[in-house]
Structure 1
Amino acid sequence: MQSQLSERVRIHVEEEFFSVDKLLLVEHSEYFRALFQSGMKESTQKEIQIQDLSAVGFAVTLKVLQGEHPLLSCEENLKAVECAAFLQVRALARYLIVSLNSDNCIILYQAAAMFGLLDLFHSAALFIRDNYSDLEEYLDCLSPDLLDYVESLIPSTFVAVGAHTPTFEFLEDLSRTICYLEEESNTWRTLSCLPLTASTFLAGMATLDNKIYIVGGVYGYNKQVVDQSFCYDPATNSWSEFPGPQQLRYDVTLTAQDDNLYAIGGEFEKTPLKSVEKFNVSTKTWSFVSDLPQAAAAVPCAQAMGRIFVCLWKPLDTTIIYEFEPQKDEWLPISTLNRPQSYGHCMVAHRDNLYIMRNGPSDDFLRCVMDCFNLTTMQWTSLPGQYVNSKGALFTAVIRGDTVYTVNKVLTLLYTIEENTWKSKKESAGFPRSGSLQTFLLRLPRTDHSIAT
């Protein structure tokens, strides 16, 4: 059977023919897996005709299965949804989910409802709910049922966590809280208090399935590492613990994808680390994956189009972007940028763009300069203007739809991303705490969580 699957087959769709590896189709398509393993005459034919399917959609399907990352037109999105449903290709459905944006979310929502792709349907509805005010004028095309479903969902909320180290219970410590911005009243409110043994100082933090995960962190003068990890579930307003990484680490970067957390680099006993560990949330086990190309702490990391990217800095003034490919367990160099900087840089993603923010030269270190790397064209662009850290706090950037949320003690500043420019959109209350922050988006139950901070 394996030798039969290793050959190529011609697939006839509409007026076009596609020469495809049988094994690729069997691996990713329930339809072709059943066909080729059925024992029927079609399972051994060199050419197979697929009825009632578009060549455009099948071409998109093959591109995605072969590892490409195409930007799809309206027609291609429609035909891709049809193919994902008819051929039962989960990888294509996932690609459509990570490709959701303000231009395609409505059409993908309607198409997913029509063809029964439930994960895409729900993800598109959540995207529309999060960006309801920006999309409202275009929602007239939705049926009452589809609109009702969107409006029944809970939108995401901007959440911030300050740097905190473990303390005694009887000592009041306002930094030992997770807070959220109630935008209607322009007030920061307390969501939950951190566990007494948890530290967010130099910890890795990430969200997965609408839960916050905290890994690492230190306490005490000697930077002792917290060996337990913590998870906060806003649905139940409860905390749970899970094991820390096999390698104790602080100043670690944490990111989440699918059912896994990735603890990237960090330090231990003042020594930078190259190692990377993966925590499977279902099995609650840690395992090592491929090392970073170089030892690094506080690694800038972002996910674009479902792909994981990091920035590694090398003297003199060189930043290299790497992509981590979980299936191959490899770190692949993507591009290099040479820019003078004094300290610090971070990265966020919007659509197929990576935005790199860094402090300017040492004689003007309060200024934050930005560069954009486009993953489709593989080209760099310097964004016009400079943004002052003391106002915009761009190192805390979180993106929802086409809106960027940044925050510091002075104010919360929102930007709108238009092409390759960030335009000031709105100012809200600053976060009422000093020190460094980590920020996220969470969906909070419809309850009055606490009093204002």
Structure 2
Amino acid sequence: MAAVNGTGEQVTGTRVAANADLHREWQNLRTSRMLCDVELRGAEAQSTGIPCHRSVLSVHSGYFRIMFLSGMKESTETAVQLRNISHIVLSELIDYCYVGDVLLTDNNVQSLLTAASFLDIGAVVESCWTFMESRTDVQNCLMVYCFADSDAHKNAALARKAKALVLQGFVSVSQQPEFLALSNEKVIDIIRSDDIQVPGEDQVLLAVKGWLQHNPMQRRCKFWEILQCVRPSYLSPQGIKDYLLACINALKYYAGGDGLLHQSDDLQVLPGSDAEPLSSRSVARKSYGIENITVCAGGHSETSWISQVDSVDGVNPRTSRWRKLARLPYRVANSGLAVINNELFLCGGIIGCGDSRVTPRTIRYNRTLTCWTDMAPMQTGQGNHSAAAIAGHIYAVGGYGSDTRTLATVERYDVTTNQWTYVASLPTPLEKFAIVEGAVAPSPP
């Protein structure tokens, strides 16, 4: 091997690398207390001192390097106590500094990672994260997620992986003791996700009720906030009853809850009621297995153009199979039909045998209960109009009103407030026309 010395002369020789024998010598010096210049103690009051060398600790730990070289009082003391690290964990990390390895297990990896992060022993920190990622599964994913997502550690990649497992195995995870120990913030963080894998929303309600019962005295004041993340539109009939009862009980302990209860009218303003404004909680979770279908609702019978029907049929374009949906609550034809957030809305239409029998009624299809629910009516009863879902709203355009006069009105339905409002009218009254969402280029100046 050739090298060049400081004078520019070529020097031939062999470079010798340190090996395991050197680590053993360092360890022998420590165990025999030879040249040791500091003694470390763990958090326990009666912790036994661990003899060490400042130079060895400074090489491996940024924390000790600063402590011993910055003129702190610990730099001259013969004994230093670390009050936030246990004796066992401290001993394992000091052994690492001398022998170059440490045994990681499911039982010690989190405490070792916490202490190694504090002492700035980067190699151990990295090894602990790698070990935790390799061992993360449905049984421990909730614990790993909380640890990796905490402000003290923050491993975003591992937190995402662990949370995905939590959502995927939510039914079993929610039955683990770790779930019952979660903070209300973490419960909300989990159950608000669209990605929870559950056969139905009842499992989510059951999980949060179990969480409450684990410590009701301390948790009941926050339970109302958690119930806001349950999606009542997808609860079973019994689940809705349990949910409304839980809401009533939660409002008793929630700040401002008395006011909400006094404003209620037979529970009609509580979440889950028909009068509740639609929101993201009205969106189905991805695991519900909802299929996209083309729907035909109402219309005239084949025997008479003045006779309306209440049938609703849907076809799956992928399978080309038709199936019956719940019948409309009334016979209607020439109504508007639109979909927002996977929710089906039918608005207006003609009822009875006279053209003047138009209705402003708006109904929504509840897939869970397989029934239709009344929503806020339109401002004007109309039939032979067109409806479309555009940019998160439903627009009902034109048609004719109760006096059979062709309309130029345009109404917009806001799903978040459950309200119809007038917007800019048509330049020309129209009926029996087509409408579709589209994009056009602006007109030239």
TM-score of the superposed pair, with normalisation by structure 2: 0.31
Larger Rg: 2
Report the structure, 1 or 2, having the larger strand content.
1
Report the structure, 1 or 2, having the larger helix content.
2
TM-score of the superposed pair, with normalisation by structure 1: 0.31
